[in-house]
């Protein structure tokens, strides 16, 4: 597994989250002079976007994220995005948060699959950050945070070899391999089949630095070309005009990672039935692997840098619905399989005083209950990661 995949995964999924939230906030905004107290305005939208982006690009948060480390579980990452989405006055219920995460993951999975070269994953990330900068162009302080992350990406990945980028791409594909959620945008564009799997094109630009297929060269033992043969490739391939810019500013050329919601389009998702049996899912839902403590510590460090702006005084949080109607949202919540709930995480708490004290210090307000008598030093608490942080 690649130790440098996590920043690319987090930033690209975060970019997709911001694209979706911006589109839905714009769709539900009411002109300020006509809006009631409980309705969204464009001022509210900008505030939400600024708060989330400022939290997402927190300096300490980014420093922790860029440390070489393995990818962690889908649940741990999902919890971070849940925390991030609520870093403002906006509130999402469980069904809308589920839908948001589904859209984020499937969009980035498609981009990883279509990436011409493994190194172009960096261009996809730059496209996301370029678009994020447009959201906060009137907030120079937050803009500087995003530019600093840009520089971290350039410094961290400019010396990475093509082989390691290939390993990063494989790591990301492994992360997404069991996710086949149907998305209406992809279905209507015929880039996704009814079973949730993507359709990969056999035409278009070839990767930069490669040739259009159709020619075979034969060389002798001295390395001299002695023969040429042509063949039909079966696709309509073209050579790229130029390579995308890997600098702070420039034309990325590649369009993957740009905002596909900039034109109003439906963003419905359709959950597919899982072929996994309940026993295997239950096993997945419990963090019982040898890296459990390290994963929990990682999550706590990340969440520790996220300052959530909780509504204070008489101010109430605005609810955002990612469904067309409240009835659809309620129906989705009822139909959502229990195994998709991300509300709690099971952990095993060690009895050693030193380890327990350190874990409690890292988790802050999260409390690890003392083991019950006869439990052989193991607790069976459900830690509600979001409450109290």
pLDDT in tens, 236-279: 899 988 999 999 999 999 999 999 887 655 556 665 544 344 44
In a domain, 190, yes or no: yes
The pLDDT, as a whole number, for residue 384 is 33
The pLDDT, as a whole number, for residue 358 is 44
**CA dihedral (29, 35, 41, 42) positive or negative:** positive
In a domain, 204, yes or no: no
In a domain, 207, yes or no: no
In a domain, 277, yes or no: no
In a domain, 43, yes or no: yes
Residue 178 belongs to domain spanning: 5-198+245-262+317-347+355-365
User: From the CB of residue 241, how many other CB atoms can be counted at a distance below 10 Å?
Assistant: 8
Q: What are 158's two structure tokens?
A: 């400019």
The pLDDT, as a whole number, for residue 271 is 57
Residues lower than pLDDT 70 in the chain: 1, 30-38, 263-389
Q: What are 279's two structure tokens?
A: 């026993």
Give dist(CA 90, CA 318) in Å, integer.
Answer: 5
Q: What are 240's two structure tokens?
A: 């790229």
Count the domains in the chain. Answer: 1
In a domain, 281, yes or no: no
In a domain, 31, yes or no: yes
Burial (0-12, 13-18, 19+ Cβ within 10 Å), 354:
exposed
Radius of gyration of the chain (CA): 23
Give dist(CA 283, CA 8) in Å, integer.
Answer: 28
- Inter-residue contact 62 to 148 (CB < 8 Å): yes
Give dist(CA 268, CA 100) in Å, integer.
Answer: 10
User: From the CB of residue 226, how many other CB atoms can be counted at a distance below 10 Å?
Assistant: 9
- Inter-residue contact 267 to 20 (CB < 8 Å): yes
- Inter-residue contact 105 to 13 (CB < 8 Å): yes
pTM: 0.74
- Inter-residue contact 17 to 84 (CB < 8 Å): yes
In a domain, 118, yes or no: yes
- Inter-residue contact 269 to 182 (CB < 8 Å): yes
- The DSSP output letter for 238 is E
- Inter-residue contact 91 to 119 (CB < 8 Å): no
């Amino acid at each position: 597994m690649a130790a440098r995949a996590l920043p690319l995964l987090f930033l690209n999924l975060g970019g997709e989250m911001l694209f979706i939230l911006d589109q839905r906030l714009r769709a539900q905004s009411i002109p300020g002079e006509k809006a009631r107290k409980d309705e969204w305005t464009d001022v509210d939208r900008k505030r939400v976007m600024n708060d989330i982006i400022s939290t997402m690009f927190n300096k300490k948060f980014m420093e922790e994220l860029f440390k070489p480390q393995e990818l962690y579980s889908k649940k741990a990452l999902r919890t971070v995005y849940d925390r991030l989405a609520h870093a403002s006055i906006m509130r999402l219920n469980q069904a809308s948060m589920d839908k948001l995460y589904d859209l984020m993951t499937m969009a980035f999975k498609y981009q990883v699959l279509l990436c011409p070269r493994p190194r172009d994953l960096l261009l996809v990330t730059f496209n996301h950050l370029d678009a994020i900068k447009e959201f906060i162009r009137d907030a120079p302080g937050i803009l500087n945070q995003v530019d600093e992350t840009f520089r971290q990406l350039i410094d961290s990945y400019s010396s990475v070899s093509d082989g390691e980028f290939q390993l990063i791409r494989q790591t990301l594909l492994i992360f997404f391999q069991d996710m086949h959620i149907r998305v209406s945008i992809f279905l209507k564009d015929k880039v996704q089949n009814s079973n949730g799997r993507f359709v990969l094109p056999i035409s278009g630009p070839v990767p930069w630095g490669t040739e259009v297929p159709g020619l075979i060269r034969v060389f002798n033992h001295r390395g001299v070309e002695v023969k040429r043969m042509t063949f039909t490739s079966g696709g309509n391939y073209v050579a790229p005009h130029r390579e995308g810019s890997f600098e702070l500013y420039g034309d990325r050329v590649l369009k993957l990672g740009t905002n596909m919601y900039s034109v109003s389009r439906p963003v419905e998702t359709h959950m597919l039935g899982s072929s996994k049996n309940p026993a295997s899912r239950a096993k997945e839902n419990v963090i019982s692997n040898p890296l459990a403590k390290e994963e929990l510590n990682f999550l706590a460090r990340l969440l520790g840098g996220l300052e959530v702006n909780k509504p204070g005084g008489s101010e109430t949080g605005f609810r955002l619905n990612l469904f067309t109607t409240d009835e659809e949202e309620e129906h989705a919540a009822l139909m959502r399989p229990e195994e998709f709930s991300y509300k709690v995480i099971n952990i095993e708490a060690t009895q050693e005083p030193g380890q327990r004290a350190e874990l409690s210090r890292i988790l802050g307000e999260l409390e690890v209950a003392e083991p019950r008598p006869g439990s052989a030093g193991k607790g069976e608490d459900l830690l509600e990661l979001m409450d109290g942080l």
